[in-house]
Structure 1
Amino acid sequence: MPNLDYGKLLEDLTNQMIVSKGVSQLWGSRGDTLRAGIILQLDAIGVERTQENNEEDTLITDMESRERKNHHCHVTQISNTEKKLNEMKINMAQLEWYKKTCSTGMGYYDCFKGKADRRNIHIVKYKIGLTKYWEVVKEAETKPQKQGSPLPMRQLNAGTNYRRMVEPLDIAEHYKKNNTDYRTTGRAKHYELLEKWLEEQERAGGNESNSGTRDKAVTLTWDSCFCAEVENALIWTKSLKNGEAVGEPEEEPCIEKLNKFEEYVMGLIDGLAVSPEIFLKESTFMQWWKVYETIPGRNRSSRLANFMENKCYQNYI
């Protein structure tokens, strides 16, 4: 539908009414299309007005004032929303630039997690700004639910990019402080909601950007918790190597958890859904592999073992 100039449309309607009903019907409009429109609406519902001494009709004046105030509030709200959105775009662009500068050696996640870097001070600022902006999506959970995501598709896609870009940084901060499982002890609610809504939207068949077969590896790993899974695998592997027990006796044995982790990684690789930077020499994933390949009880004929030992990752793009 083409954009309509509603001011012009109302002006044309007013002119038509003047011709058909006479100028006296629009006394006091003073060429103001908003005021003229209010007068026409009142006429249409049969509200009688007086013209004594050319005094302004109080009802019309009050309605005009209210409409102008509502319009101003609406314009201000749109302006503030656009301003915040532009700020978020700038913050995301800064993180993307930082990610590119970390494309050698260890990669985005490990650069942030590693030794102190003055660049990280600025990255934390951008990360905090983005998180404050996106935490408000929690409010959407209280709204009446429909099939798929309660967020508009454009906002959901932007939120998904944010989650995949920023959550790895939260994971890095989490594992710098402790060895507890991030998903169960450290993950913020708004990440869970954004992931849940994306999955629901995909089931509803309404997210074309995540559908189809890729012919090139993604730059942002599809599972924003991938780094947490790698960190857990590294903890289990080091404990096995040192002959230590991990967790409660009734828990699943570490070697079985690691077998499942291998399958999980290969699933992402098969779908080109993991960033190639996980195979950088100093990445946490490659650190995990160096320890894991020395474990006597591991499955040496697994698909991931063949992929890593034959250095197939060198051709993964």
Structure 2
Amino acid sequence: MVTHERKLAVQKTKVYRSYLKLNEIEKYIAYMEWYKKSSKEMGIGYYDSDIMAEEYKRTLSRYWHDTVAEAGNKPRQEGAAMPAPFLFAGTNYKKMIEPLCIAEYYKEGGKDYIEERLGHFEENKKKEREEKENPQLRSASKPNSKAKNVAPSLNDDSCFWAHVEEVLVWCNEQASNPDAKPMTEFELYVLNMLENFAVTVDIFLENGSFMHWWNKYKVIVGSNYSSAFTEVMKRKTYRKYADWVSIRTDQ
């Protein structure tokens, strides 16, 4: 009995320390929120900004890398989910920090980021599946009918900017090709994200990578090319997006 009580005491201490560490890490997440806000005020968005946030990024990355490794070494009972605060924080971490890793990867000349994706980001897929099965987390992360004047602060797909980087590469390669085919798959991907309010308003900042891609793309496909996506961009109905109004011009 004494041994059992000692084990319980040790386990409780570990859990307590984990929550203390999580509270400390959430301070760094708050710093990153400030970084995002400052970048937006500069009209460029935090993905494209040169503001230094390396300290926060390194601290958060190290913490979640260790958390994933520890979870892998100590598997939970089958069917048991991670505590809700850790699931929620882990998902937010990935959505906030992975874009910075993507930006750094492409600045250093990398290609096909998703194929080379860091292990602890891949591991977060498991956490996301658990989050979807947890009603408390699901309701906390999705908009409700009383909050439809607030645009999302983080992209649902943490690899959104990797897709943007790849289509920018495509545009550079096809710039002088008169027979270049429209990127219908990427168009549909973005349109779906917009229709589900799954990307931030920041992607439409004029000096950002997404709009840089669009300005190149519309030249390549030409003025005669039309699709649901290009009509949204040409007519700038995306300006309604922040108010949770449909951006589709055919509705």
Question: What TM-score bracket applies, with the shorter chain setting the length?
Answer: 0.7 to 0.9
SS at 1:255 equivalent:
coil
Q: Letter of the 2:113 partner, please give it.
A: Y
Q: Are residues 296 and 80 of structure 1, via their aligned partners in 2, closer, same or farther at CA, if it must alter by over 3 Å? A: closer
- Give the one of 151, 170, 193 matched to 1:217: 151
Aligned residues: 234
The answer on 1:285 being equivalent to 2:219 is no
Q: Letter of the 1:255 partner, please give it.
A: K
Task: State the Cα distance separating 1:211 from its structure 2 match.
Answer: 4.8
Task: State the Cα distance separating 1:212 from its structure 2 match.
Answer: 6.2
- Give the one of 88, 94, 116 matched to 2:25: 88
- Higher RCO (CA < 8 A, seq sep 6+): 2
- Give the one of 112, 134, 147 matched to 2:64: 134
Task: State the Cα distance separating 1:166 from its structure 2 match.
Answer: 0.6
Task: State the Cα distance separating 1:217 from its structure 2 match.
Answer: 2.4
The answer on 1:106 being equivalent to 2:36 is no
In the alignment, which residue of structure 2 is the partner of 1:159?
90
- Give the one of 232, 238, 247 matched to 1:307: 232
Structure 1 portions without partners, runs of 5+? 1-40, 42-62, 245-252
Contact 1:167 1:225 in 2 (8 A): yes
Q: Indicate the RMSD between aligned Cα atoms, in angstroms.
A: 3.0
Q: Are residues 174 and 238 of structure 1, via their aligned partners in 2, closer, same or farther at CA, if it must alter by over 3 Å? A: same
Structure 2 portions without partners, runs of 5+? 243-251
Q: Are residues 273 and 71 of structure 1, via their aligned partners in 2, closer, same or farther at CA, if it must alter by over 3 Å? A: closer
Distance in 2 between the 1:160 and 1:213 partners? 19
Distance in 2 between the 1:158 and 1:284 partners? 27
**Identity of matched residues, %:** 35
Task: State the Cα distance separating 1:302 from its structure 2 match.
Answer: 1.1
Q: Are residues 227 and 299 of structure 1, via their aligned partners in 2, closer, same or farther at CA, if it must alter by over 3 Å? A: farther
Matching of residues 139-288 of structure 1 within 5 Å: 139-141=70-72, 143=75, 146-147=78-79, 150-185=81-116, 187-199=117-129, 201-202=131-132, 204=133, 206=135, 207-211=138-142, 215=148, 216-243=150-177, 255=181, 258-288=183-213
Q: Letter of the 1:110 partner, please give it.
A: D
Task: State the Cα distance separating 1:72 from its structure 2 match.
Answer: 7.4
Q: Letter of the 1:108 partner, please give it.
A: Y
Distance in 2 between the 1:227 and 1:199 partners? 22
Q: Are residues 210 and 94 of structure 1, via their aligned partners in 2, closer, same or farther at CA, if it must alter by over 3 Å? A: closer
Task: State the Cα distance separating 1:296 from its structure 2 match.
Answer: 3.4
Distance in 2 between the 1:298 and 1:139 partners? 54
Q: Are residues 131 and 254 of structure 1, via their aligned partners in 2, closer, same or farther at CA, if it must alter by over 3 Å? A: farther
